[in-house]
Chain A
Amino acid sequence: MRSPDPSAVLRRPNDPPVLILTSLAAGPKHGHALAKDIEAFAGVALGPGTLYGAITRLEERGLIEALESDDRRRPYRITAAGATVLAVSVAEMGRIAAVGASRLGISLGTLA
């Protein structure tokens, strides 16, 4: 397994891997639940092909793992490495957002 490098995995806030890790940070989910959750919190509709492409890459890198399931709808959960990568990425995005808000003279809280 490759060592997780946040810059190589998570590039933009609306990249499918970022959205999937963010969704799984709230708990394990299967594909459909992931798609619905992502649409709810980010307003991004990921198609099945895109979603499973990202799941494949994240699992390859050890950032998520599949849970045992008898159902075809296999749930995934974020790993410790995935949580670390997401934390680094979120901190970076937060830093940029804070700079943007500061330069605009607005509070990040008012944008939520």
Chain B
Amino acid sequence: MTTQPDADSLLVDRIRRGETQAWDDLIARYEGRLLAFVESRLGRRGPSEDIVQESFLGFLNSLPNYDGRRPLESYLFSICAYKLTDHLRREGRRPAVPLSSASDTSGDWQVSDSARQASSIARSGERKELEIKAITEALAEQIDRWREKAEWTKLMCAELLFVRGWANKDVAEHLDITEQQVANYKFDFIARLRTLVKRQDLSEEVFPELYEDEAES
């Protein structure tokens, strides 16, 4: 990950106290990467700078609700992605999706739907966070292990299978390994995650892709 947690959390504390120098520092630290993110999609400097500006405002608006445990860079990118999506919708480039979710990309800077019952949101949210935390820790541990051993092929294989959703055959071809090797890596990886789900007493139903093979057989 690309964050400096301690430095960032100190910076956010100072911004919460209203220190303008800290706000200036945050802008200096992050505006370049946010601008590159937006401009790569819009291709125009002026509107891209406007979106970055809106994102900084969105960050200040959401500051009372910002959970300092969340990496600051990822949080800023999420706000920026949301503002960019909104801009693209207004321009007619991005079609609206029916039955839109109370999207995870909108986060805390969106006004929450007062019609939903707070208790049910809090309960399901807590449970969901716990599940995400457990899988995140297991994945991070596995990825660190591959990195330490320089097992780059295994890391690439898992990333193509799960992050990009490629088929075994395409992964094998791209990495110049056999389909059997891909299947073996995948099997081991899924087995580890299943063990974790069981050990932590998480619901199998909320991780359907880990049990697809069982459902098919």
* Pair from one complex: no
Q: List residues of A whose CB falls within 8 A of some B CB.
A: none
Q: List residues of B whose CB falls within 8 A of some A CB.
A: none
